[in-house]
Amino acid sequence: MTNNSRSVSILLVDDDEINNFISIKLIKKALVSSEIKACLNGKFAIDELKKLKEAPSPGLPDYILLDINMPLMNGWEFLDEYKRLDIDPEGKSKIYIISSSVFSNDINRAKSYRPLVKDFISKPLNIEKIRELFEAEKLA
């Protein structure tokens, strides 16, 4: 997968700066051609996506990796606002919930957001999970 001809753009939405640092390192190791931007909560991410939507290029990210539990605007509120604002009418961005939650109600709630949310991935991220995610996407 390291032989991608174009760069993959990723928006990481998580309030844990240490976790973001580690996730970015792992993603860059798994996907050499990747542009990653981190936002510390859903509100900042919505603001960033509104700017990217208006930009001529490169536009919206290919992937949004979204935590659930964050201050200011959590992952569920982010998804509701994302849909309400119709940020991505063509469905360019693939959204994955990345959470340390093991509660079945969170996993089921994530499924209720399909097809907007592609899958629920448990933290911590590791190289194998990242490769699986992007390999599965490549085959889809």
Per-residue pLDDT at 136: 65
Q: Is residue 70 part of a domain?
A: yes
Structure-token match 């499924």, residue found:
111
Instruction: Give the CATH number of the domain where residue 115 resides.
Output: 3.40.50.2300
Task: Count the domains in the chain.
Answer: 1
Q: Is residue 125 part of a domain?
A: no
Q: Is residue 33 part of a domain?
A: yes
Q: Is residue 126 part of a domain?
A: no
Q: Is residue 124 part of a domain?
A: no
What tens-digit pLDDT sequence spans the chain (140 residues)? 444 446 889 999 999 999 999 999 999 998 878 899 999 999 999 999 999 998 877 789 999 999 999 999 999 999 999 999 999 998 999 999 999 988 899 999 999 999 999 999 999 899 999 988 887 666 55
Per-residue pLDDT at 6: 67
Q: Is residue 131 part of a domain?
A: no
| Closest C-alpha to 96, from 82, 83, 114 | 114
Per-residue pLDDT at 1: 40
Q: Is residue 21 part of a domain?
A: yes
Per-residue pLDDT at 56: 77
Q: Is residue 132 part of a domain?
A: no
Residues 6+ apart with CB under 8 A from 93: 11, 60, 61, 62, 63, 64
Per-residue pLDDT at 43: 98
Per-residue pLDDT at 137: 64
Which pair of structure tokens corresponds to residue 46? Answer: 């919505």
Per-residue pLDDT at 66: 98
The residue range of the domain holding 30 is: 8-119
